[in-house]
Structure formats: C-alpha cells, structure tokens
Chain A
Amino acid sequence: MLTNFRTGFFGACCWLFAGCATTPQTTLYDKLGGESGIHNIVENLVQEIGRDEQVFHYFAQSRVSRFKENLIEHFCAISDGPCQYTGDNMVDIHTGMNINERDFNHLVDLLINAMDDEGIPHRIQNQLIARLAPLREEIIYR
C-alpha cells in the first residue's frame, strides 16, 4: 500500500515536472534571436564601430574576423546560449586601451543601435545590457 502510494506520489511529481520540462525555458539567447540574431547584432555593431569617429581608433589594429567570432561567442555564453566563451578574459583583452567611461557608454549606444537594427525589443535589449554592465569594471581605465 505504502509502496503504491509512493509510486503514485512520485509518478504525479514526475508527470508534473515533465510537464514543465517539455515547455522549454526561453533563454535571453533565444529572445535575442539565437545564433543568427547574435550574429547579426555583432555584424551591425562592427558596422557601427567602423563608421564611428569616437571609438573607431581603439579597433583600428584589430582583426575584424577574430573580434566578431569572439564577441559572438561571448554574447552567446552570457545570454545563456549553448556556447562556452573560450577567449581571453575582459581584463587582459582591454588592458592598455585606457578606455574611459564616456567611450564605454558610447559603445553601449552603438550596441543599442545594432540591436535596434536587428529589431530587438527595448525590454530584451535592457536584459543583455544588464548582463554586460557588471563587466565594466574589468574594462575601463586599464
């Protein structure tokens, strides 16, 4: 009797949880349009930087293809997508650039433009920016 009860009880639980599990949780990665969405955002961002007088100089010597690849991977990982960021850490990458607050915020504005062009809604944009914001300390004035 007890065993039956337990089977029934756990059975019900499994069924409940299975019900949840079959509705896949949407990650921020999905909301950003998944692989193609993030690819396009980074592509747009690179275009924005290329046209920008204020921050282009930082990137003048960069290898665009590697930058894109690593940034896509970084955005994918930070938005809970199916990626692991394999690049260098934020401090090492940005050391020697002496990026100031103003230029950091300007890049945020360019990222917003890039997301606007990809049709990412304002509320989703904020969620990506919220995840990037804590990294600022590792990036500016280094």
Chain B
Amino acid sequence: MRHILLLLTLSLVSQLHAADGKLLATPGISQIEGAGGGGFVPWAQLAGYGSRDEIAANVFCSGANVDDYDLHVCGAQATFYDRVEFSVAKQKFHVDALNLNIKQRVLGVKARLYGDIVYSRFPQISLGIQHKKLDDPTVAYLLGADEDSGTDVYLAASKLHLGAIGGYNWLWNITARSTEANQTGLLGFGNAEHGNQREIVLEASTAILFGRHLALGVEYRQKPDNLGLKEDDWSNVFVAWFPNKVISLTAAWLDLGEIAGAKNQQGAYFSVTGYF
C-alpha cells in the first residue's frame, strides 16, 4: 500500500500539469472498491481526466453511515493513457452492535477494451479485476464464510448520450461481475459448507447531467447470498458536483437492505475525489 502510494505521488510530481484531457464530469467518481465509477458500481470509464496521451492520478475518500454500520474508504487510482487503471482502496467497516471494525484491502486493475464513452458509436467497454483481502477474518468465519480473500472479475459498458433527454446529456453503465464475495467481501467469500459460490451479478448506474457541473443519478447492485443471511441488493440515489477537473463531491442516499441480520439499512453517503 505504502509503496503504491509513493509511486502515485511520484507519478504526480513528475507530471508537469494535472491530466485534463477528458470532458468535465465524464470520468465519474470513485466507487467503494476503488475503481473509477459511480458509488457502488465500477464503470467502463477509467478513473480521472487522462486522455490517450496522459497519465492521471486520483485520490478519494468516501463515507457511508447506515443504521447499524459505517463504512469508510480511502484509496487512489493511477490511469495510464486511458488504457489501464490501477487502484487501491482501504475499507473500514464499523459494526455498531459488536463495536468492532472489519478492514479490507482491495487492489484493482481495469483495462479499456473498446471505445470512448462520449465519442464512439458503441459504448465504451472495459474489463476489470478486484482482488480483496480481509485483515482479520474472524467475523467472516463466524458467519460461515469460506475464505478471507477473493477476486471479482467484471465487464462494464457505458455510454454518454449527448443531448439525449430533453437536451440534457444522459449516462448509463452496466456491469456484469463474477464474484463470490459476501457483502462485497466485508463478510468474507463463499460459504464454508458449500465452498466456492462464484456467480455473476449485474450492476447498473444511470445519470442525467443538469448542466456541465451537476449529475443526478441512481445505481443498483445485485448481490449474491452465500451465507443465507438474506443479503439484499443495494441501491442509491446520488447527486455529484464537478466544479472543475480537480475535485468532485458526491452525496447519496443508500438503501442496503438487510446486512447480517440487521434489517433495512439506509443512510447517507459522501464522497470526494481529487484528480491530478
């Protein structure tokens, strides 16, 4: 982690100017596992404003506070020539009932396979992986998880349609993810009795850009239920503000459903990404 951050800082310093080659707001923000995306969903866009001739580095922190849990995430991405994105994220998940923290680290890579979200005729397509590891798997094992680490693989497609809805720009993204994670990995991976439970889930985001600086959208993330704890799909409604190509601020209302026996988990989410 420290080495990667150091590398990021170096690549930052070595850049004479911040990457700014994409149109405002089009790269989106940073999702909770560290990839460029929405709030929950990794998007086909690579993080940051780097175009085909630029390197971009971004840092972000997000916080979610639902009824019985908190999640704090900070991380960073480095994107090279709008072709490949590397990301790290450190998550701290606070369980109010037990007054303990579950920590998870996520390393991600995403490669753009085709297209440009704004300009190509067909949607931009990217392929990504996220490798996740829990610091301490005690809770995960208690709940019946099989592993303390796992790897998700996802394919994402996204498109910005210029002036499409009443003249406003319209963005959509669909992601298919192969995963065995329980609550994105915070409760481990798979089921100890049934072993590997890899399955494919769908995730989607859509937003309308009201002006150059403001996006209003919704997201949906399908989730497996390996532990038999009635793990629900997640959804959110978000508003993201892009005052310039250096920072974005996002607020959302989350509906996470049931988490490990605690029903109807709802709450607020805030996120900030700095783009260099």
Contact = CB atoms under 8 A, between A and B. Distances in A.
A140 to B, nearest CB: 9
A12 interface: no
Given A100-B52, A102-B51, A123-B168, A130 B22 contact: no
B53 A105 contact: no
B261 interface: no
Given A122-B212, A136-B119, A127 B20 contact: no
Contacts of A129: 162-163
Nearest to A102: B21
Given A122-B212, A134-B121, A102 B54 contact: yes
B23 interface: yes
A129 B169 CA distance: 11
Nearest to A136: B119
B118 interface: yes
B166 interface: yes
B55 to A, nearest CB: 12
B228 interface: no
A84 interface: no
Chain A interface category by residue count: 20 to 34
Nearest to B211: A122
B51 A100 contact: yes
Interface in B135-182: 162-164, 166-169
A4 to B, nearest CB: 45
Q: Which residue of B20, B22, B162 has the most chain A CB atoms within 10 A of its CB atom?
A: B162
Given A123-B168, A126-B163, A137-B119, A105 B23 contact: yes
A101 B53 contact: yes
B167 A133 contact: no
Contact of B162 (A105, A106, A121, A133): A133
A97 B164 CA distance: 31
A90 interface: no
Given A101-B53, A102-B51, A137-B119, A126 B167 contact: yes
Contacts of B162: 126-127, 129-130, 133
Contacts of A122: 167-168, 211-212
Contacts of B167: 121-124, 126-127
A57 B166 CA distance: 37
A108 B119 contact: no
Nearest to B53: A100
A106 B169 CA distance: 18
Given A102-B21, A134-B121, A137-B119, A126 B53 contact: no
B218 to A, nearest CB: 21
B168 A126 contact: yes
Considering residues B53, B163, B166, B212, which has the most beta carbons from chain A within 10 angstroms of its beta carbon? Answer: B163
Looking at A102, A109, A124, the one whose CB has the most chain B CB atoms below 10 A away is A102
B135 to A, nearest CB: 40
Interface in B190-247: 211-212
A136 B20 CA distance: 18
Most buried by A among B52, B167, B169: B167
A112 B212 CA distance: 10
Given A101-B52, A105-B21, A133-B119, 11 more contacts: A101-B21, A102-B21, A105-B22, A105-B51, A108-B23, A122-B168, A126-B169, A129-B163, A130-B162, A134-B119, A134-B121
